[in-house]
Amino acid sequence: MGELKQVTLDASESSGFATTKLDALLGWARKWSLFKYPFVTACCGMEFMAVTSPRFDGTARFGAEAPRFSPRQSDLLWVVGTISQRQAPVLKRIYEQMMEPKWVLAFGTCASCGGFYDNYTTVPGIDKIIPCDVYIPGCPPRPEAVIDGLMLLQDKIARGDKTPGIVKPREDPASLVKLRLSKDSGQ
């Protein structure tokens, strides 16, 4: 008969393992069940509708389709369009009313940095008022860029990463300009 060995579990090791697994499970569940609060103020709203339409299917397949029109039931604030100084306190209030954990997407150049509205009435980016997790540049951003932004956010949620991220263009804009110029000149 072989020797019997007593196996003991190190309590600290097992609880660390369980916590890591639980965090991973929570991250996975959260990233696929986002409840959006759309704060739509300007022309980017047209592209927001395009993203959510069946043609691009930019939210439903990511578990982020259902809108909530109470900030208390939302965990993802979509800031879509230009934010004026008069709207700033309202936006801040809405953000504060959301429960933790919560995330913010800046949809378009105006929400990200104020866009070309370099004047006293426009907030030069929502991060002057509230924290922002992902910036999606573009005037307005293409639906593909918005989908990239949503996937970037999902990745951050899964990893528990709170550092802000920015969506990079899928193609180098300089190469697109060169392509257009060469087409225009018939080369």
Nearest distance, CB of residue 136 and ligand SF4, angstroms = 10
In the bound state with ligand SF4, the residue whose beta carbon lies nearer, of 58 and 81, is 81
In the bound state with ligand SF4, the residue whose beta carbon lies nearer, of 75 and 112, is 112
Nearest distance, CB of residue 71 and ligand SF4, angstroms = 21
Q: Cβ distance 133 to 103 under 8 Å?
A: yes
Measured CA to CA, the distance from residue 174 to residue 167 in angstroms comes to: 17
Nearest distance, CB of residue 110 and ligand SF4, angstroms = 3
Nearest distance, CB of residue 181 and ligand SF4, angstroms = 24
In the bound state with ligand SF4, the residue whose beta carbon lies nearer, of 150 and 157, is 150
Residues that bind ligand SF4 (CB under 6 A): 42-44, 81-82, 108-110, 115, 139-140
In the bound state with ligand SF4, the residue whose beta carbon lies nearer, of 32 and 116, is 116
Query: Longest C-alpha distance within the chain, in Å?
Result: 88
**Which residues have CB under 8 Å from 31's CB, separation 6+?**
63, 153, 154, 155, 157, 158
- Give the CB-side neighbour count of residue 75, counting CA atoms within 13 A: 16
Pick from 63, 140, 156: nearest CA to 108:
140
